[in-house]
Amino acid sequence: MNPHSHAATGGDAHISQYNDRNSSRDLGKESQCHLSLAQQINSASRKGHDTVNRLIMARFALGLQDHRLYREGILSFAFVYKSFEEEWAALLSSESTTVDPRIRNALQRLYSIPLLRTPQIAKDLQYFYGSTPFSTEFPTTPQRTAYVNHIRNVIAEKPHVLIAYAYNYYMALFAGGKILGYQMSKAKGFFPEHYGMTEEERIGAGMNIFNFEIEKGGEIGLRDSFKGALLDLESTLTMAEKNDIIEESEAIYSKNVLIIKELDRLCAHIIATTTITTARKQLWNDTHKFLSFFAVLACFLIGKHVINYL
């Protein structure tokens, strides 16, 4: 009997197991290759969505109690939209000569003025802040500043990751914006009474984030046009570029969580003065956290609603 036969057999078994594991990885990579970029983004970000969703569902009921909470949250995300939309326009301008023409063409194919949210959010902010001063020129809180800097820096380094921001933030609104917008419109006493507006006018003035300035019923066509453009341009992206886009989509969750936690702190003083019921105040005291409605909107929509909708 060969004294090394047992060891050899064990070694063969180990090699076999090693090969099996690597084969599984290869099969996983191969299966991912058969998915569209949008599907890969959804798959990679599902865990992040579930984590954020758990945070949100514990706080969602608080979101429509006071419009001051909403406007603080929407201000945070106004900086997000403003940052990547400004970078997008700059990359497409005739003065931009540093971006790869291939990437520039891809970004041009996705670009659509009705998609842009910065002008729409500005209208909402003007309504909700009224005579109270506010500014979207430069962020002044730590997390808002950090996120804006991250967006501008990462897009400057890798312009193609702008696709991650456009896909996640726009498709989120198409996926579930109407649902949450409907809940918002039915919240009694939520829309502030000023400018002599009727109730219908107040609701319209504060929900521009959900409205795309196109013909009635055209949202589906706008959404499908974006999705079709993304599908068409995939073949022009390298594997490394696609991976960058997927990774940045995951990073969006991490950044949103930091924004949410900052909003918890920023909104604490509002909770102390708002007309929230005793039970809800107790919920606040128990959790020591608050998530503004727009933070709910931005993070709740990015993920499961997108996955189910596309």
Q: Could you read off the pLDDT of 284-295 as tens digits, one per residue? A: 444 444 444 554
Beta strands in 70-132 (DSSP E): none
For residue 3, being part of any structural domain is answered with no
Q: Could you read off the pLDDT of 178-215 as tens digits, one per residue? A: 777 888 898 888 999 987 899 999 999 999 999 998 88
Total count of domains within the chain: 1
- Rounded to an integer, the average pLDDT of 12-33 is 46
List of residues 6+ apart from 207 with CB closer than 8 A: 124, 181, 184, 185
For residue 169, being part of any structural domain is answered with yes
Q: Give the type of residue at 265.
A: R
- Confidence band of 275 (pLDDT split at 50, 70, 90): low
Q: How many helices (H) and strands (E) does the chain have?
A: 14, 0
For residue 32, being part of any structural domain is answered with no
Please tell me the predicted confidence (pLDDT) of residue 268. 87
d(CA 211, CA 214): 9
For residue 233, being part of any structural domain is answered with yes
For residue 10, being part of any structural domain is answered with no
For residue 12, being part of any structural domain is answered with no
Q: Could you give the 3-state DSSP secondary structure of residue 290?
A: coil
Separation of CA 303 from chain center: 8
Please tell me the predicted confidence (pLDDT) of residue 294. 52
Q: Could you read off the pLDDT of 5-20 as tens digits, one per residue? A: 444 444 444 444 444 4
List of residues 6+ apart from 135 with CB closer than 8 A: none
Task: Give backbone dihedrals phi and psi of 237, rounded to 5 degrees, phi first.
Answer: -95, 145
List of residues 6+ apart from 116 with CB closer than 8 A: 81, 85
Please tell me the predicted confidence (pLDDT) of residue 16. 45
**Residue in the structure block whose two tokens are 């406007």:** 71
Please tell me the predicted confidence (pLDDT) of residue 286. 47
Domain containing residue 132: CATH number = 1.20.910.10
Percentage of the chain modeled with pLDDT above 70: 73
- Rounded to an integer, the average pLDDT of 94-100 is 79
Q: Could you read off the pLDDT of 110-166 as tens digits, one per residue? A: 999 999 999 999 999 999 999 999 999 999 999 999 999 999 999 999 999 999 999
Q: pTM of this prediction?
A: 0.81
- Rounded to an integer, the average pLDDT of 231-248 is 97
For residue 9, being part of any structural domain is answered with no
Q: Give the type of residue at 134.
A: F
For residue 33, being part of any structural domain is answered with no
d(CA 93, CA 299): 31
Nearest 5°: the CA angle 249, 159, 259 is: 40
Which residue segment(s) compose the domain that 285 sits in?
A: 39-309
Q: Give the type of residue at 44.
A: A
List of residues 6+ apart from 208 with CB closer than 8 A: 120, 121, 123, 124
Tokens of 198: 């009727």
